[in-house]
Structure 1
Amino acid sequence: MLFEDGASYVQDREDLIAILKMRFGEIPPKVIEEIYAIEEYNTLERLIVVSSNVPSLKIFLEELKEGAGSFKILGERFNPIQSLNEEGENR
């Protein structure tokens, strides 16, 4: 891996963690370790998109477990305002 590529991976991991913290608050250290263990660029990029769109950390964690084999991001499962809709209905 070239230095520039390594720096890009580090930045993508940090971006992913920052998005998760902004959206869901504190992130368990084990999740951060799993993110730093990812070595496939496409997986990191997919998880950045997923983290921006899933309505809950639980769904993100399910996607994190999918690894490199998953690449479809479709349906209500990835609706970022789904949790807001559900909260409004519960009031």
Structure 2
Amino acid sequence: MFMFEDEANIVQDREDLIAILKMRFEEVPPQVTERIYEIKSYDSLERLILVASNVPSLSVFLEELEEGQDSFKILGDRFDPIKGQLEGGSKIEK
């Protein structure tokens, strides 16, 4: 893949990640958006897209966002999107 294609994919993944977060949790704090735009790794963004699609709450996503590039497992109850809906956790936790 050409370098400009890599950068285009990264830009698209950032936008996709933010869109998923908005669909799931309605609001995305500006500092979270800024942190997402700092990510330069395609693999990290792909992982965070899966995380955002499966976590029951924004707070769990934020924990995963801070894990960095070394994190790779997406296992357990922390990644059960239905659990969050059943517990009313689909909105931002305050």
TM-score if structure 1 supplies the norm length?
0.91
RMSD: 1.1
Q: Which has the larger radius of gyration?
A: 1
Match of 2:50 in 1: 49
| Cα distance in 1 for residues equivalent to 2:84 and 2:10 | 30
Match of 1:80 in 2: 81
Q: Give the residue type in structure 1 aligned to 2:30.
A: P
Match of 2:9 in 1: 8
- Measured after TM superposition, the shift of residue 12 of structure 1 is 0.3
| Cα distance in 2 for residues equivalent to 1:32 and 1:84 | 23
Identify unmatched segments of 5+ residues in structure 2: 89-94
The structure carrying a bigger helix percent of its residues is 1
| Cα distance in 2 for residues equivalent to 1:60 and 1:23 | 11
User: Deviations 1:3-41 (Å, cap 9, x if unpaired)?
Assistant: 111111000000000000000011011100100100111
Say which SS state the counterpart of residue 43 (structure 1) adopts.
helix
| Cα distance in 1 for residues equivalent to 2:67 and 2:59 | 13
Q: How has the CA–CA distance of structure 1 residues 9 and 57 changed in structure 2, closer, same or farther, with 3 Å as cutoff?
A: same
Identical aligned residues as a percent: 67
Match of 2:91 in 1: none
Length, aligned pairs only: 87
